[in-house]
Structure 1
Amino acid sequence: MAGFNTAITGLKAATTNLDVTGNNIANSSTIGFKASRTEFGDIYATAVVGAGSSNVAGSGVTVTDIAQNFQAGTTEFTNNNLDLAINGSGFFQLDDGQGGVTYTRAGAFELNKDGFVVSKSGKYLQGYGLDSQGNRLPIGNLAVDQKESPPQATNNIGLSFNINDAADPTLLSTPYDKDVPSSFTYSTTVRTFDSLGNENTVKYNIVEQRPVRDVYTVSAAVPTNLTISGVNVSFDAAGTPDPVALDTLKSTDKRIDTTTLAYNAAEGTISFETYAKYSSYGDMLINDAGGADITPEPTERDANENYSYTLAVPAADTTLTIGGVPIEIATSPTVPTLNDIADQIRARETDIKDRNPNVESVTVVDEAGSFRLDIRFKADYGNIGSEFSVSETGGTVLTAIPERTYEGDNSYRGQYQMFAYLNGTELLDIGKSVDPGESGFAIKPQDTLSEVGSVMLGFDPTTGFLNSVNGTTFSRGATAPQLTIKGADPANTETLINLDLSNSTQFASASIVKASSQDGYTKGDLIGVSFAETGEMVAAFSNGQKQNLGVVAFATFENQSGLQPAGDTEWGATLTSGNAVLNPPGTGLNGSLRSAALEQSNVDLSTELVRLIEAQRNFQANSKTLETLNTVTQAILQI
């Protein structure tokens, strides 16, 4: 009877189903395990010739396939960065070192004694190496081959600060001294590293320019020749300087206001002034006709504009108009004295200042028998020029006393000298041009050498934004010209540091550092390895640096159901699955990588237990078929 064979096929199929279900249950906690499902097909015995009726009893059942379920399991997060999970499609590719390649979703990796990333079975995780430029290399064994991070000298410093505009530069003590905090406006320090990894500091002292001009006086008999800042200037017997030489001097040494270069015959002195914003910027280099050095006598003069006039008693009634304010001076019935006129002017000082906001003071000075009227203007207004006048009746403008008349100069506003010191002591070269007349000086800026000393920073006095660095101006919003710091690396004198002061300001608020950065670091040791979502294996070092060591490769298949189980939750490629296609995570159809996470088994225990009951019932039912056929056979034998 064929029924016996049919029942036996049912028993075999049910047994296989029990085996598959039992294997699923046994691996419900296996990392990366994929559940299987038993698939069945019926058996019919047919013949090409003689197959008459379609009413043919079947011959039983057969197992057509044990199909893998590659649905992702749940992700469990861990504290180990070498635990990897795939969020999406793909497999890790493993190499046993002997040519055997398998694929897995179980990402419990570790480092072996040689620094390679291996699975629990000792197989090497595959990925792309990286060259020094970060370009991907061919697929190979991923390894942590960098155990330390070498030191890097500081090459770039970014510093952004605000200097309090409300600070009064006239309160600064003079002369400037790096060890006297009251002689500079603001100070801040940035740490740096030399090429051996030693930590250093660069201290910046910033000094706001006071409203003064430097006056240099040289004793000399005329005619004479003087070499000032490398330019030969000749003076004739009347003390008049060569005008061509003056133009050359002005274009050579931007600190000198050559229009004030003058000879005082009574004192036998030649004097000239520097612009206020360059006050104390550097020493004047002066030589006499014989080439000997002359040390000038520097003094300071306020940058305020000053006019002085000699006052006398008028012969008739007159109106003295000072800055548009008329003062009536009557000579009858009594001729006024100079004291009377002085009192009248003092009484109208407030009116003069109200009408002329740029006036700081109106002073009448007694000079032994005559009076002098001094008009002093506020320094912030710079050179007033013809905007202000003193006149008498009929509009006759009084002539100011030449030797007591000084033009205003407000170019000091928003101007700061910045000094830099290595470890707070050694003055550094941050780009200060070599002073005119010194060895190495050149007229063309691009040929000018630099030396230790300060550079000028300029802020727009109306907006407070930095607008010039070391004489180079730039527009608001643009990147500030970079300064080059020399000598800040004691281990390597060739190291140059770029200093970027962009976004620095001069607002009326507390002086603070708004941003500070530098790119140097000391030597570091490996402290851990992590992975990015896009597959980069990143080594972290104790000096805070990170380095990409490689990129994990994901493998995909045209038919992943055709993969052949190889044990240890690994699969091998077959002709049915097709060859692996390798790409980094997050590209194409590949999923992303999760570090410190493991994909758990995708076995659903409740479903498997139900399948277990079904398989048991199927086995019992097929056993009943055998029992029934046996009973029928016994009945036949008893006939």
Structure 2
Amino acid sequence: MAGFNTAVTGLKAASTDLDVIGNNIANSSTVGFKTSRTEFGDIYATAVVGAGSSNVAGSGVTVTDIAQDFQAGTIEFTNNNLDLAINGSGFFQLDDGQGGVSYSRAGSFQLDKDGFVVSKSGKFLQGYDLDSEGNRLPIGDLQVSEKESPPKATEEIDLSFNINSAEDAETLLADYDKDEPGSFTYSTTVRTFDSLGNEHTVKFNFAEARPFQAQQEVTGVTAGESVSATTISVAHIAELTGYSVGDVIDASSGSSFFAELTDATNGDPRIESITMDDVTDPVGFTIRFYSEFPEPDLAAVSSGIAITEVAEIAANETHTFALDATTAFGGVDSLAEDTLIEIGGVQVQLTAGMTQDQVGASITAIEANILDANPDVESVIYDSASNEFVVTYEAESGDVNPGISFDGNVASAATNPLWTAAEPTIKQGDNTFQGVYRMYAYLNGTELLDIGKALDPGEVGTGTEPGPILLQFNSSNGLLSGINGESFSASAVVPSITISGADPADSTTTIELDITDTTQFASESIVKASTQDGYTKGDLIGVSFGETGEMVASFSNGQNQDLGVVAIATFENQAGLQPAGDTEWIATLTSGDAIVNPPGTGLNGTLRSAALEQSNVDLSAELVALIEAQRNFQANSKTIETQNTITQAILQI
């Protein structure tokens, strides 16, 4: 009877279903496991030729497929960076080293003794190696090949800071000393490394230019004689002007000798003026320097010439009026007649009988009015002893010639004009110190570094030397506007500063210092940002993975290095993959060949480090299915029992 065979197929199908469900339940905690389900098909036997009744009893059931469900399981995080999970579609590609390739969603990896990333079954995780430029190489075994990070010398420093513009430069000591904080405005230190990985520091000192001018006297030069090693051998003077043996030095303040020294194009940019002190032999002359060069280094190379530094002078411009008061005081100590004088547009009435001291007091009484009417003026003083009227201008105003006026001939009750003043004697001003800082750099706080200071005019050779450079700030907005003589606008790229000699292990190393965003605001002097790209030697401390598959080695010196990129495989028909055990699959003709790309590209899922994909088995659903399969088995058993009863009944007829 066909009923027995039909029941047997039912028992076999139910038994297979029980096996599949039991396997799902057994692997409910297996990392990367994918649940399966049993799919059935009915069996009908029909005649090949001829057609009978369409009412044909079936011949049972058959298992048509055990299909796998590749739905992603829950991702759970771990404390191991080598645990990997794919968040999305794709498989890890594994190689057994013998040419066998399999695919898995189980990301429990570890390092073997040679640094290769392997699965728990010892198969090699596949990925892209990287060349020195970071370009991907052909797929191969991923390996942690770098066990240490070599040292790197500092080559770039990014430093930005604010220097408090409210600091008073006049309070700084006249002579700069790197070890005397009172001689500079602000200081900051940056850590650096040499080519062997030794740590050093570069200390930067910033000294604001004071509103004073250096002045030096040169003596021992014989006027009217030819230039020679014995008559003039001050290097920065003789060489800079282009004078040669046979040229004659004129004993005159207006000579071409002095004109060339102060020439804007070919002269010494540090020199503001040169004046002759004496027209007799030997000639002496005075050199005055701009305020931004407070310590000019001049050296006489001939024993016949001497250079002495005169005490610094204030950078203010002054106008001194020598007054003719012979008529006014009539040979006695009191003013002969009433008179009206005008100073800078402000009038003061002087009355007969005033002494010179009383006249001075009257002028002092209107000083505030004169200052209000003339913002560039700092003070107005009448010196009764010398009978001179002195106007001092703000140092920030620089040169203000012709400046304030003095008029002793204003109409008054007097019958004759009194107190005439000769043309004023003018000492030129200097505002080059405004917003100017001398910047020094020291290796380990002691050795003065070369940061681009040009050789002083007249020095032999070309290039730069250790010493300070100038930083210039816009006094109206506090923004950096010039470095080492190179000016730029607020929107322009700030030129970098090249530091030489900061690597004791390699003298060829230079450091590019970028001080973009440095300011001079009226707020506390602070470092706003400071970074440098050097580091010491480091040892491997761990490996991690990025979302797009980068395998990154971390070292004890704080550096990270990309060692490779994990490869992710996808298939046109992943349902066609054949299970191979150890939660792995192999490709078949049905699945098609693997399509390999980095994570996060195309339809590939991204990578999660320190995470594992759990089994996608729904245990509750499997237990319900188990009950259903059990009943199916029992029902088919009942079919056999019924068929047996029927057979017994027939035999008893």
TM-score range, shorter chain: over 0.9
> Match of 2:449?
428
Q: Tell me if structure 2 keeps the 8 A contact 1:216–1:273.
A: yes
Q: Does structure 1 residue 416 correspond to structure 2 residue 440?
A: no
Query: Residues 407, 237 of structure 1: CA spacing in aligned structure 2 closer, same or farther, 3 A cutoff?
Result: closer
Alignment map for 1:525-564 (pairs within 5 Å): 525-564=539-578
2:342 to 321, 337, 352: 321
Alignment map for 1:124-203 (pairs within 5 Å): 124-203=124-203
Q: Per the alignment, in what secondary structure is the counterpart of residue 632 of structure 1?
A: helix
Q: Does structure 1 residue 304 correspond to structure 2 residue 316?
A: yes
> Match of 2:287?
272
Q: Per the alignment, in what secondary structure is the counterpart of residue 276 of structure 1?
A: coil
How far apart, CA to CA, are the structure 2 residues paired with 1:295 and 1:247? Answer: 16
Structure 2: segments with no counterpart, 5+ residues: 329-336, 412-418
1:252 CA drift (Å): 3.5
Q: Tell me if structure 1 keeps the 8 A contact 2:129–2:140.
A: yes
Q: Per the alignment, in what secondary structure is the counterpart of residue 295 of structure 1?
A: strand
Q: Tell me if structure 2 keeps the 8 A contact 1:250–1:256.
A: no
Q: Tell me if structure 1 keeps the 8 A contact 2:252–2:276.
A: no
**Moved runs in structure 1, 4+ residues, more than 6 A?**
none
How far apart, CA to CA, are the structure 1 residues paired with 2:160 and 2:484? Answer: 16
Q: Does structure 1 residue 95 correspond to structure 2 residue 95?
A: yes
How far apart, CA to CA, are the structure 2 residues paired with 1:397 and 1:492? Answer: 72
1:297 CA drift (Å): 2.6
1:628 CA drift (Å): 0.6
Q: Tell me if structure 2 keeps the 8 A contact 1:129–1:551.
A: yes
Q: Tell me if structure 2 keeps the 8 A contact 1:285–1:436.
A: no
> Match of 1:10?
10
Root mean square deviation, CA, Å: 2.0
How far apart, CA to CA, are the structure 1 residues paired with 2:275 and 2:183? Answer: 30
Q: Tell me if structure 2 keeps the 8 A contact 1:11–1:622.
A: yes
Query: Residues 24, 292 of structure 1: CA spacing in aligned structure 2 closer, same or farther, 3 A cutoff?
Result: farther
| Paired-residue identity, % | 60
Alignment map for 1:450-461 (pairs within 5 Å): 450-461=464-475
Q: Per the alignment, in what secondary structure is the counterpart of residue 650 of structure 2?
A: helix
Q: Per the alignment, in what secondary structure is the counterpart of residue 203 of structure 1?
A: strand
How far apart, CA to CA, are the structure 1 residues paired with 2:99 and 2:473? Answer: 69
Normalising by structure 2, what TM-score?
0.92
1:231 to 237, 240, 254: 240
1:262 CA drift (Å): 3.4
Query: Residues 237, 379 of structure 1: CA spacing in aligned structure 2 closer, same or farther, 3 A cutoff?
Result: closer
> Match of 2:405?
389
Q: Per the alignment, in what secondary structure is the counterpart of residue 612 of structure 1?
A: helix
Q: Per the alignment, in what secondary structure is the counterpart of residue 251 of structure 1?
A: coil
1:411 CA drift (Å): 1.5
Amino acid at match of 1:473: S
How far apart, CA to CA, are the structure 2 residues paired with 1:343 and 1:553? Answer: 94
Structure 1: segments with no counterpart, 5+ residues: 442-448
Q: Does structure 1 residue 251 correspond to structure 2 residue 265?
A: yes
Q: Does structure 1 residue 628 correspond to structure 2 residue 628?
A: no
How far apart, CA to CA, are the structure 2 residues paired with 1:248 and 1:357? Answer: 30
Greater shift, 470-479 or 113-122, is seen at 470-479
Q: Does structure 1 residue 57 correspond to structure 2 residue 57?
A: yes
Q: Tell me if structure 2 keeps the 8 A contact 1:250–1:258.
A: no
How far apart, CA to CA, are the structure 1 residues paired with 2:194 and 2:363? Answer: 67
How far apart, CA to CA, are the structure 1 residues paired with 2:604 and 2:357? Answer: 99
1:299 CA drift (Å): 3.2
1:609 to 605, 620, 623: 623
2:372 to 335, 354, 357: 354
How far apart, CA to CA, are the structure 2 residues paired with 1:93 and 1:294? Answer: 85
1:249 CA drift (Å): 4.9
Amino acid at match of 2:406: V
How far apart, CA to CA, are the structure 2 residues paired with 1:188 and 1:174? Answer: 21
1:254 CA drift (Å): 4.5
Q: Tell me if structure 2 keeps the 8 A contact 1:364–1:372.
A: yes
Q: Tell me if structure 1 keeps the 8 A contact 2:274–2:285.
A: no
Q: Tell me if structure 2 keeps the 8 A contact 1:255–1:278.
A: no
Q: Per the alignment, in what secondary structure is the counterpart of residue 565 of structure 1?
A: strand
Query: Residues 268, 330 of structure 1: CA spacing in aligned structure 2 closer, same or farther, 3 A cutoff?
Result: farther
Q: Per the alignment, in what secondary structure is the counterpart of residue 402 of structure 2?
A: helix
Q: Per the alignment, in what secondary structure is the counterpart of residue 427 of structure 2?
A: coil
Q: Tell me if structure 2 keeps the 8 A contact 1:309–1:401.
A: yes
Query: Residues 255, 298 of structure 1: CA spacing in aligned structure 2 closer, same or farther, 3 A cutoff?
Result: farther
1:125 CA drift (Å): 0.2
1:255 CA drift (Å): 3.1
Q: Does structure 1 residue 106 correspond to structure 2 residue 120?
A: no
Amino acid at match of 2:369: D
> Match of 2:395?
379
> Match of 1:579?
593
Amino acid at match of 2:11: L
Q: Per the alignment, in what secondary structure is the counterpart of residue 292 of structure 2?
A: helix
Which digits, 9 at most, give the CA deviation of each residue in 1:519-567, with x for residues without a partner? 0000000000000000000000000000000000000000000000000
1:301 CA drift (Å): 1.3
Q: Tell me if structure 1 keeps the 8 A contact 2:240–2:261.
A: no
Query: Residues 55, 307 of structure 1: CA spacing in aligned structure 2 closer, same or farther, 3 A cutoff?
Result: same
Greater shift, 316-325 or 269-278, is seen at 316-325
Q: Tell me if structure 2 keeps the 8 A contact 1:306–1:407.
A: yes
1:287 CA drift (Å): 5.8
1:129 CA drift (Å): 0.4
1:320 CA drift (Å): 2.1
Greater shift, 292-301 or 24-33, is seen at 292-301
